[in-house]
């Protein structure tokens, strides 16, 4: 939950007018990063960690022009569903082997790999905020 709190704290600094900001034409904009975070985290936890996740068509904000708060609400909704599943898991569950792309890894390793990936995207948005002024 600590990493999720950090993500939300950075996302709260994004103003709605910055959602389409990108520091370079070949870089994703902030909206794309937030969308990627919602979709990829759900896929990652469902496929590799084995938690029950919401259906894909319920992951993204439903508004035609979503605001930052809409992305935050969807992100927190996913985290709140996932947290009890992770909290009640025992040692055997965490140490069990799961498929990870073309490898097999322990769930705990896969979980920490996701935390690092989330931290990367959190930092990416933070850098975009600094570059935007």
Q: What is the pLDDT of residue 115?
A: 95
Residue 67 main-chain phi, psi, to 5 deg: -95, 170
| 102-130 average pLDDT score | 96
Give the model's pLDDT for residue 63: 84
DSSP string covering 97-108, please?
EEEETTEEEEHH
Burial of 54 (0-12, 13-18, 19+ CB in 10 A): middle
Instruction: Show me where the domains of the chain are located.
Output: 2-132
What is the DSSP annotation of the chain?
-HHHHHHHHHHTT--GGGTT--SSTTSPPHHHHHHHHHHHHHHHIIIII------GGGSS--SSS--HHHHHHHHHHHHHHHHHHHHT--HHHHHSEEEETTEEEEHHHHHHHHHHHHHHHHHHHHHHHHHH-
Assessment of whether the complete model's pTM goes beyond 0.85:
yes
| Segment 10-27, tens digit of pLDDT | 999 999 999 999 999 999
Q: 2-132: which CATH number, 3.40.50.2300, 1.20.120.450, 3.20.20.80, 3.40.50.300?
A: 1.20.120.450
Whether residue 64 has pLDDT greater than 90: no
């Amino acid at each position: 939950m600590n990493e999720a709190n950090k993500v939300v704290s950075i996302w709260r600094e994004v103003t709605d007018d910055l959602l389409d900001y990108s520091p370079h034409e070949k870089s994703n904009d902030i909206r794309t990063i937030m969308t990627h975070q919602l979709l990829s985290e759900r896929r990652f936890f469902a496929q590799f960690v084995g938690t029950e996740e919401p259906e894909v068509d319920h992951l993204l904000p439903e508004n035609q022009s979503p605001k930052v708060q809409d992305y935050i609400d969807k992100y927190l909704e996913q985290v709140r569903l996932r947290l009890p599943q992770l909290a009640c898991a025992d040692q055997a569950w965490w140490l069990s082997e799961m498929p990870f792309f073309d490898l097999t890894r322990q769930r705990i390793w896969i979980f920490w790999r996701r935390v690092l990936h989330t931290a990367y995207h959190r930092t990416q948005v933070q850098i975009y905020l600094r570059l935007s002024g």
